[in-house]
Amino acid sequence: MTRPAESALVLRPRIGYGSAAMPIATPAQYRAMLDAAQKGGYAYPAINITSLTTINGALRAFAEAKSDGIIQISTGGGEFASGTAVKDAAFGAIVLAEACHLLAEKYDVLIALHTDHCHPAKVDGFLKPLLEASRKRIAEGKGPLFQSHMFDGSVVPLAENLEISKKLLKECAELGIILEVEAGCVGGEEDGHDTSGLPSEKLYTTPEDMLEVYEALQPIGRFLFAATFGNVHGSYKPGAVKLKPSILRDGQKAVMDKHGAAAEMDLVFHGGSGTSESDLRETLDYGVVKMNIDTDTQYAFTRPIVTHICQNIEGVLKIDGEVGDKKTYDPRSYLKKGEAGLCARMKEACDDLLSSGKTIFGKA
């Protein structure tokens, strides 16, 4: 991908909290991560988090896999984190992101922070406050709060999508932030993103779309592109989702044929649950550098908690007037198991995407 001139942003080093203190990746380090993945033919798992427990599970997984990675927050995740009495998605996202900045300093891998699907109607209430939070951090000599944001304009015509994207990318680029955009729709429903009623042709990005996106955005700043090739949010049995990775190949070819090999775009894979290993690995050949992992990690987190409850039901519940067992109904007793389950699934994702053992921590 032809890289536009990087921002002249100057960042002051942060003070760490541990012997191997490591802050969240700087804008330059995040760009180096994406470059390394593109050159090395691998991708970063991007996990949606909603709490301190899920943050810790993700950080532990990346560290144990010796993989850099991406932690992301959706509008629904931010709203949940703000509390049921507040329900402020941007505020909750800020709380979670600041926690990540502190907790990541205990690990020796690079972590980038990202926000997931934000539709046009939520830009002013979600993305704009987060960009302002980054602006304030930079004024204080720190890095931006997030390293990238996603604007999901797939719900509007491509021309309108790109007009909004160009304005947002300009604002992001001034802060050293990368913008992820989407053309075409990921099917299914997940965390407030519901395209289940759209016609099937909307699930496939065309080469013409990819060329239009590149030519509109490349002159402004660096971006990630979520092209769609039949991917669907949610959990499905193997074979239920019909992916066409060749769409990514053909779109990249259209861009590179016109603008040269350096124009290869950094692509994002949404809706990958149930994807066969062959399809997944094929997408890496066509420029996928980020794959969202949410449905599978939700299950991996919840399954051991349910097992704990079932195996300790008489201790968890005060049945027939008994007193129960505090050790089993203490939330820490089962949340630790949820964290471990999430961690194990994320390590699998690192192996699947070939990012294990490839951290560039200390090299960028």
Provide the annotated active-site residues.
Answer: 116
The 3-state secondary structure of the chain reads CCCCCCCCCCCCCCCCCCCCCCCCCCHHHHHHHHHHHHHHCCCEEEEECCCHHHHHHHHHHHHHHCCCEEEEECHHHHHHHCCCCCCCHHHHHHHHHHHHHHHHHHCCCCEEEEECCCCHHHHHHHHHHHHHHHHHHHHCCCCCCCCEEEECCCCCCHHHHHHHHHHHHHHHHHCCCEEEEEECCCECEECCEECCCCCHHHHECCHHHHHHHHHHHCCCCCEEEEECECCECCCCCCCCCCCCCHHHHHHHHHHHHHHCHHHCCCEEECCCCCCCHHHHHHHHHCCEEEEEECHHHHHHHHHHHHHHHHHCHHHHCCHHHCCCCHHHHCHHHHHHHHHHHHHHHHHHHHHHCCCCCCCCCCCC
